[in-house]
Amino acid sequence: MKFSQMPYQRINMDAVEKGYKDIIERTKNATSGEEQFEIHREYYKFIGDIETNMVLAHIRHDIDTTDEFYEKENDFYDEVAPLITNLENEYLKVLYESPYRKVLEEKIGRVTFKNIELALKSFDEKLIPLMQEENALQSRYGKLIAVAKIPFDGEIYNLSLMTQFTTSDDRTIRKRAWKAVSDYFLSVTDEIDEIYDKMVKNRTEQAHMLGFENYIELGYYRMNRNCYDQKMVENFRSQVKKYFIPFATKLHKQRQKDIGVETLKYYDNGVFFTNGNPKPIGTPDEILAKGQAMYRELSPETGEFFDFMRENELFDVLGRKTKRQGGYMTYLPNFKSPFIFANFNGTSGDVDVITHECGHAFQGFLLRDEEIREYANITMETAEIHSMSMEYFTYRWMDNFFGERGDDYRKMHFSDSSIFVPYGCMVDEFQHLVYAKPEMTPAERKQVWAELEKVYRPHLDYDNDPFFANGGFWQRQSHIFQCPFYYIDYVLASVCAMQFKVRMDEDFDAAWADYVKLCNLSARDFYINVIKEAGLKVPFEDGCMEALVPKLEKKAFV
């Protein structure tokens, strides 16, 4: 069904509660594992109806954050989502404690039961008021960023549309553009500080109510970290500091040379060539058409996937002034349809959407007919491998999008992806420090960020900018607000994707086969086991980064 024709109906909470209680009661009274599994199959349909309507409301609110109807729907789900989580956990507890658990594990997998364990540890009905407040704070931050009005050269732009100027080949223009962005954040930084301060205290209180020392462990549980812990992540960050930051620093020096500047300033961030970064050729529709041709050539499965997406209007990618910032892929269970949301702005990022978000969506499409929906419940460090690896697997088609600047794009993308690794670790360490010491003032948090910048981005000079030089950059990183501890998943996935890059340069078909294998494995096993089965090294393990970086250096400095 085309997205515009998909019917939406606000869920009825009385019916939701009645439905859950019926399923719970019948599951408790079942006399065999087979009977419980048959009831669980009914649960798939029941929860699919709920999730489909919630996702439809979420997408349509993001498409136009000023739409009064869907703004009210969004507010409604901010209120009821914790109530649904409570009912969901009641049902999951019955499954977890089932006398027929062995039969159920054979049906829906042992990973499912580990995830249930984490869900039960990370929720209690007494948290509902705090979770509702947390949702409202997230929506408040999201709207504040979405409706940003930034005056520049006689026009008004949002943050996404300012990217075309902050990455201009004219250094004077991008300096003024970054100043305009800085001025906007300076005007709202106190409000963002207030929002985040309330978030940190809220999440810390939730953790204390569940018996945790601080929010870190609770945050890990809520991210479904089912096979690794904080110490393993810390070890990974240590490897990045030792092996990857020196590599990234070399890349920055190369970039400084390429753009012909004496010193790299913050307004040179994201710029790679004196004649400007390569931009895609053509209109948004033409870019999508080129994407369709590319995926038809890549493989029969990707061709079928992209055709399905276009035929059913499952892209909303045009940047608009009242549209939520950023991009994502989500899934509509009842229609077996991935959906891609983005903000095209005339930069190379438009093509990144066609590769990155389509990596997510392709994996969702491959699992569309899988009856055991738990197998599709991948954790984010796995999900991001699908997206980031697809960016590399599509390299050979970049001439179609960028013409004679295809090589420039590939060089820029490879460098930018590598430079990202230290930044992503910095975002992660910042959050660990914040939640380990929730009593920090807003000024102290900014000081923590500023100190981390010296470690992870030693090349960066903020030129005494009143906002960025004082540790404010993190306020534009929405993941910190919307999904604590998510960001390291991008970094872990990026390291796996880079391994695929090394392998595809040696044997593209073999690497692609393992990529599709990884997609189909999905959540049938734990993250560490799945990536090993796909022929990848585990990023946490000592030696992974030490072995990978020299291979990347050979590709970067030829």
Please give the pLDDT value at position 303. 98
Q: Quick check: is 410 in a domain? A: no
Of 233, 243, 281, 277, which is closest to residue 259 (Cα–Cα)?
277
Phi-psi region of 489 (alpha: psi -120 to 50; beta: other; left: phi over 0): alpha
What are the phi and psi torsion angles at 338 (to 5°)?
A: -70, 160
Q: How far apart are CA 442 and CA 182, in angstroms?
A: 18
Q: Are 488 and 425 in contact (CB under 8 A)?
A: yes
Pick out the chain residues at pLDDT < 50.
none
CA pair distance 429, 488, nearest whole angstrom: 9
Q: Which pTM was predicted?
A: 0.91
Q: pLDDT tens, 88-100? A: 999 999 999 999 9
Give start and end residues of each alpha helix (H) in 354-485.
358-366, 380-393, 398-402, 406-436, 442-456, 478-482
Of the chain, the end-to-end C-alpha distance in Å amounts to: 49
- DSSP 3-state assignment of 225? coil
The 3-state DSSP class for residue 231 equals: helix
- Cβ neighbours for 347, distance < 8 A, ≥ 6 positions apart: 163, 164, 167, 277, 279, 280
The number of beta carbons lying within 10 Å of the beta carbon of residue 310 is: 15
Instruction: Specify the DSSP class assigned to residue 31.
Output: S
Does 69 fall in a domain?
Answer: yes
Look at the chain and report how many structural domains it folds into.
Answer: 1
Task: Say how far apart CA 466 and CA 463 lie, in whole Å.
Answer: 9
Share of the chain above pLDDT 90, in %: 93
Within a domain: residue 143? no
Q: Which residue has the tokens 């004219």?
A: 170
Judge whether 203 lies within some domain: no
Residue 366 lies in a domain: no
Residue 384 lies in a domain: no
In a domain, 14, yes or no: yes
* Rg of the chain on CA atoms, in Å: 23
SS3 150: strand
pLDDT in tens, 6-51: 999 999 999 999 999 999 999 999 999 999 999 999 999 999 999 9
**Which residue range(s) make up the domain with 34?**
3-131
Is-contact 552 405, C-beta < 8 A? no
Mean pLDDT of the residues in the chain: 95
pLDDT of residue 558: 59
349/172 Cα distance (integer angstroms): 22
Residue 441 included in any domain: no
| pLDDT the model gives residue 160 | 84
